[in-house]
Structure 1
Amino acid sequence: MKNSETRRLQKSMKKAAFLVTLLAFMLPSARTSAQQTEPDHYVDVRVIPQTETIKPGENLDLAIEYTIYPEWHLYWKNPGDSGIPIKNTWTLPEGFEIEEIRWPLPEKILVEPLANYGYKDTVILLQNLKAPETLPEGPIDLEATVDMLVCKDVCIPETAQLRLTLNTGIGEPADNTAIIEKAAAHIPQPLSGTTTFTEENNRLITRFKPETPEKLKNVQLETAEFFPAEWGVINHFPKPEQAFETDGTLVISQERSDTDIAELEVLEGLLTWTDSQGTYTGYAITAKPGQNGTSSVPVAGPADTSPVSPETENAGPAKVQKHKPELTSFSMALLFAFLGGLILNLMPCVFPVISMKALSLAKLSGKEKAEARAHGLAYTAGVIASFIVVGMLLVFLKTAGSAVGWGFQLQNPVVVAGLAYVLFLVGLNLMGFFEIRTNLGNIGSSLADKHSMAGSFFTGVLATVVATPCMAPFMAAALGYALVQNAGVALSIFIALGFGLAFPYLLLCYIPAAQKWLPRPGAWMKTFKQFLAFPMFAFSIWLVSILAQQSGPEGVFMTLLGMLFLAMAVWLTHFRKPLCNCGILARTPLLVCLLLPVMSLYAVAEIPPAGNSYASSESFGESYSPVKLALALESKNPVFVEMTAAWCITCKVNHRLAINIESTRKTFKDNNIEYLIGDWTNYDKEITAYLEEFGRSGVPVYIFYGAPDESGKRPDPVLLPQILTPGIIHAAVNK
């Protein structure tokens, strides 16, 4: 027994010894972890000389390296809305001089509602030390006090003391030239060209005109910003407005702050942007006062399309100009709008809706003529009312200074997701999964007859909504004419367009003989009605694919999640009795399932743009920008410009059947044609301005610029038809 107890005691002691040993090893690690979590300072600073020796009269670069704790940051010389810039105060021997800091490119740090400029992780500031003509004998001591404000959620002032000894005469001096050169590569170089600034309507307008357009060729316009070196010139948080002119001039409009811009004789700062490869870069800027009234960026909203100044007119072959409109007559515009509306009925986006109405009319064919006509008028009223609303929105936005066009609402991811929901529900309704009721519990009375009229009206609304991704022949010229006229003329053209869309169905309702073309009612109608659900589902899927480019995978996920809850809400309506006898709580699951899709739309609205480009996804062609067009037109090659959008069905059909095919590719290659694709899936003011140059308010638009003749003059650009064929392209090229 004693031996057994002794063995147990020995085992227990061994376990205790092991645990004590393990704890002893863990304690230093725990202390280290605690020190890493709660450091006594957040920036380590050291000075690195190019070399450790200096001769009389020489210059020596010093690199001051700041290693910043993760998620904390230091500040640039203009810290932005808050903060204090880094300050190095040197104590030097007599006769020595040190130049100002050479600052590398900072990043914009957003802490809503503030914006700052600064550095994270590691940054090296360069300063140049100049020695006098006579040096003291022996080692030379340099000292510096570094004052800085390091911030995360809170800001902490820190001070570091630096000491550097040169000419020690001990050992071989180190050569840190590689470190200096690497740091110098991050210092922005001056932009060669002309930069001017003006104040217009309480905004700072800065115009950057490089010597050659190649300097700014790879600028992604929405990322371009100007960081003034002087504090108080602009309000830093509001997003700037940017625009490119066709001579390569970049214009940035920013909300000004307290500084009186009129008193500035020079304005220094940085022009920064992210290029198409995702590289963040920039130029150092020295701007001089310019003349007011020359900016192509308005105080709010997109680019102005007014005629450019004479200086810009003579800037090169890519000058901005308004091309002669196809329509100059109001009566012709009305006719074109009516014809365009008629043709819309044959477009794939509208045809399923028209089939739905034809199906309902077949049910009425044996009833009174008055009822059929009433349905026709209700449908027509829905179409025309919807076109009036769209027209009024367009006219209002144009009057307010926005550059918008046909289909503008589909540039908003929330509208795209909402339309996908509507078409998904229409599909479920056609499949017979649920019926739209007009009474809410015991409230109100039966509205069965009124409901059928309301159904016709809202089918007209739906036809208009699904028509927006399509652009029929004649429509483009009519809408282009409408959007440069007064409100009354513009709305008249939209009414004519709506009347054209509604006319075939209205004709069937008013001419009994025409109803003989419709098949007789029968059991087939239920099957055909269910079949029509599949085009609705297909349209809904296509809209979700557009969201993938507008809002990325997160937007797609939130939209599909909303559809899931809509389907669940439809399922819950099949229960004739409440799921429980708990009063108003019995309806809670249904209300939640209806509320969650709305919350999904809100989530989609909060997702930042994905930055995916339909145009850049094409292996054939290059993404459009005004600068790329200017460069292409400076060459001796023909140029073909395609303006398209992922939500434009006409665009995608044309591209697949007429452009992105072997024969057209060969034509472009054989004729050295430079091919540019402009993507209007998301709002782009530069593309909108380009469309307006040719009297267009929507896509598709195809422009061919012929090669210059022997004198160097290009023929006038050719606007190709909206319904494109390979033959049309080949004829334009070989003309």
Structure 2
Amino acid sequence: MVTAFAMRNFLKAAVGCLGMIAGCFSTGEAQDFGGMSFGEAGNFGPPQTSGSSKATVTSYGEASFVIVTELALPDHWHVYYKNPGTVGLPMEAALQPVPGFRVEGPFWQIPELEKGLVDFYGYSGKAKMAFRVTPEKDAPPEATFITTMTWQMCAEQCAAPETKNFSVTLKRGDGQTAPDAAELTGNMAGLAAPDWAEGLKARISQEGKTVTLHLRTNGRPVPQDSVYFFCNQGEINPTTPQIFKKLDDSNYELSMQFNDTTDGLYPNNLPDADRGKPLTSLSGILRAGREGIIITADDRPFSGESQSTAAGTESAPEPSASIPAPPLMGLGEIMFFMFIGGIILNVMPCVFPVIGLKIMGFVQLGGGERKKVLAHSLTFVLGILISFWLITAILIALKANMFDWSAPAGPGVFSGDFWLGRGAEGVVNWAFWFENPWVNFCLLGLMLAMGLSMFGVFEIGVKATTMGNDLQHRKGYAGSFWSGALATVISTPCSAPFLGQAIGAAMLQPPLGIVLCLTMMGLGMSLPYIILGAFPVLTRYLPKPGAWMESFKQSMSFLMFGTAAYFLWIYMAFFDAENHPQDILFLFFGLVLFSMAFWVYGRWCPMYRSRKSRITGGIFSVIFLLAGLYYMLPPEGAAWFGRGSAPGAAESAAAAPSLQEEGNIWIPWSPEAMQAALDGGKPVYVDFTARWCSTCQVNKASYTDEVLAAFKKYGIVMMKADKTRTNPAIDQELKNLGRTAVPVNALYLPGRKPAVTRELLSPAYLLEFLEKEMER
């Protein structure tokens, strides 16, 4: 889930990471990120929230009374209403059942529209909610009422979501009213109706994007100051003003803009079947003056009103002017953070193996003329941008369900509606292609082949021992282009915890917004090379070409081999090593044959060899290459040739988690296994992870003996949800948590909302997190 605080703090965290990138990926104790400690919440967390629960009576009789729970918030901090208006975490409340009492509610304090980086509905200072309780004949002589509340407190940053119980104990008596009863129920909607709301009727109509709430009273005037409607499901856009108009002494109209989710920061919770259709009902809190009421309205006409009048034809009162659609809010800021994130990608560990290729390009540029410097720089930039555009095209296609031929046809790809996001409602995970075994198969072969080439096993494009300048230039430009493309592809699985939130925000944008955001990310990654091309004088400070370059190139090949080993480790997760161990042996044997093919090609196929030698070497190279690829195929591909069998859907979902188990500490996650543990009263901690996620691997070092002992102390069941390969159940659970990509770590407690950790873990943070959540 992307919130305003995440966007603001992204830059702070990113700048801190640039200064000490090694610390960002330390596997030891928590590091200091640019002055912010991620190890101790006391240095990073917000002030504490206090709260209490009271009743409007000191003793109860036969009449109804109200239980009010109030949160006292620190200065400059806020919490969200049950409809946050944005993608913020809504406040929730429940009163535990008490035998002998009937409960109604919850009833909410009238929220405020808070304007800022994003507009949201929430509370500052104090936040109240209430339940109306009615004693029944068999009510006990004494009862304790426990209210469970969940909220998230935010300012320039957000605290972890909190869930707490508040209780009040009452005894049977004469039903005496508490001295502060009126104060407790003040500013609460639904507990008591104001005078102007007596006999109030409401209905809605919609024309285009304008939703009109029609109000009819019994002649009592409605206060015309501070009129605002807070909807329950996000149907109304909070970024546009609401226009209140008095038609006569009994009729009023409030015009609002329908929220069609064009701006991804302002979602609605309408059922999928109702999306894109005119509203037929609307519910929420209507505030007028200092009071508010709960309203539920539909599109049926008032008594005595014709259907045509209710629909807004010429016989109806003159409607208010349509509210213009707002621009894409927040897009410029997201683009800025994506640009900064692109710069950071140059020093991320996943891009580091390509640094050898970049350095070699710089060395070559250092000895060239200005035009060559500029040409190589722009060619490298072109490789990055084209790769980002290809990734963007795939994301947009999948988000719009363009590959789901059974789905109804949406707007055409060349239509304005498509690029503005109408009809594109899917959610796509960043780096989702690494869940495909064929992607890892190709990257593994590419990394190994590039490493062998850099080591000198073979050369590509060599016509003779002495190459012409034209060929060398063509090869250099191609190298610059493919270096940029490769850096882009390799960077996607480890976009770092700081970039993940900005990418999530970009994925919520309509297609045009995604294009702009990822283009800015590509430009950020290209910035060093753009600067070098614009100011080639900087190349003077680079080392000059010389004999040392060959040794340096060979040393850089080991980074390629290391990257190949990393992708091999990811790729092995797609094999069922437990039931088919021979497939792993075939994979290793295939890598040997694959490497041998390039060795034969480099040894017997250079242009200075005889024609017979080149033909013979070429034949054997192809034989070894095809044999190597055959044995390297993923199980699905091997099944095509009758070797092994492709795993079924159930096997595919279960195979990867089994490879992630560490002894008998972690058990594979499934919705059924987690629910069974929760039903048994056991808390469950789930690590949503993937082999291709480098931050996930860094987090594993945080599970020290002390941390594992804490899990055991609290009786927590530890589960591993492995997303190395596609798993729809994991995707759905991540969606339930408001996330789209790993790493995600969540603690589930019976009867409570899951508590999600931050993305980058440390032992100290986990110990504090467990203590805080388990001892509430």
TM-score (norm 2): 0.47
Q: Which has the larger Rg?
A: 1
Which gives a bigger RCO, structure 1 or 2 (Cα 8 Å, sep 6+)?
2
